[in-house]
Amino acid sequence: MFTIAASPYPYVLPSGSKPCLIVIDMQRDFVEAGGFGEALGNDVSLLTAIVPTVKRLLDCFRALNLPIVHTREAHKPDLSDCPPAKLKRGGASMKIGDLGPMGRILIDGEVGNELLPELRALPDELEITKPGKGAFYATALQDYLHDLEITHLLFAGVTTEVCVQTSMREANDRGYECLIVEDATESYFPEFKQAAIAMIIAQGGIVGWSASCEQVIAGLEQAYG
Ligand code: TIU
């Protein structure tokens, strides 16, 4: 048994378990100008700061031969998987499916929907599209994790209080032991990021744990190095 130093108390990795890194929505649509994030009225430049930290985590998981899943928030070109309630929300500038400078907003296959070049998935890593904010809704994620007998999930990506927190809550309700890597996640609203992490670890870790990339790498290298 190994542990990662974490809040609100150490995160335990039982012997024989293999944690999976879930990288949420590190796609151009949220991090680059001209995508969905900007269409919603956000300053997307805030999100680029975590790219090197997410890459460090990916490098660590790859070096230790641990599983990685990448998600993209994406809809089918005919929008048949986009509920009208989601379609009509958001800022006035551009809606899901509208044509922007990086192609149609939040549509699978468009340039804007691709993962950032430096964080691209390798061929042996699962990359899934998700039509919702959570990574489990209408995806094959749970079956994939079940087949690999994965019980421990580490979360990175954007945005902390929207897709990362939703995915973590979905995972928590499904019985997974979840940890958010606090400097590998970001929000357009720094105060929302802090609040989301505080909510996750409050009440004795009601949704899960939080740790820094440094703490995670130190724990994983001890356990699997
Ligand atoms: N708007 C916002 O903060 N986030 C999203 O719409 N999706 C994700 O968090 N990926």
Tokens of residue 117, six digits: 């070049």
d(Cα 164, Cα 169) in Å, to the nearest integer?
Answer: 9
31 vs 35: which has the higher pLDDT: 31
95 vs 177: which has the higher pLDDT: 177
Is pLDDT above 80 for 93? no
pLDDT for position 99? 95
CA dihedral 175, 161, 131, 83 (to 10 degrees): 110
Active site includes 173? Answer: no
In 3D space, the residue among 138, 167, 157 whose CA is nearest the CA of residue 70 turns out to be: 157
Q: What is the mean predicted confidence (pLDDT) over 116-126?
A: 98
pLDDT for position 94? 84
For a mutational test of ligand 1's pocket, the pick from 70, 159, 161, i.e. the residue with the most ligand atoms closer than 8 A to its C-beta, is 159
Quote the ligand 1 centre to 194 CA distance (angstroms): 16
46 in helix, strand or coil?
Answer: helix
The model scores a pTM over 0.95 = yes
Residues with CB under 6 A from ligand 1: 25, 30, 40, 73, 133, 158-159, 162-163, 188
Q: Among residues of the chain, what percentage have pLDDT more than 90?
A: 93
d(Cα 135, Cα 141) in Å, to the nearest integer?
Answer: 7
- Please tell me the residue having the least CA distance from ligand 1 atom 8: 163
- Please tell me the residue having the least CA distance from ligand 1 atom 1: 37
Is pLDDT above 80 for 91? no
pLDDT for position 183? 98
Active site includes 163? Answer: yes
Active site includes 60? Answer: no
Is pLDDT above 80 for 174? yes
Quote the ligand 1 centre to 140 CA distance (angstroms): 20
Q: What is the mean predicted confidence (pLDDT) over 6-28?
A: 97
Please list, in sequence order, all residues whose beta carbon lies within 8 angstroms of the beta carbon of residue 184, skipping any fewer than 6 positions away.
Answer: 50, 53, 54, 56, 57, 156, 157, 213
> Ligand 1 atom closest to Cα of 37?
1
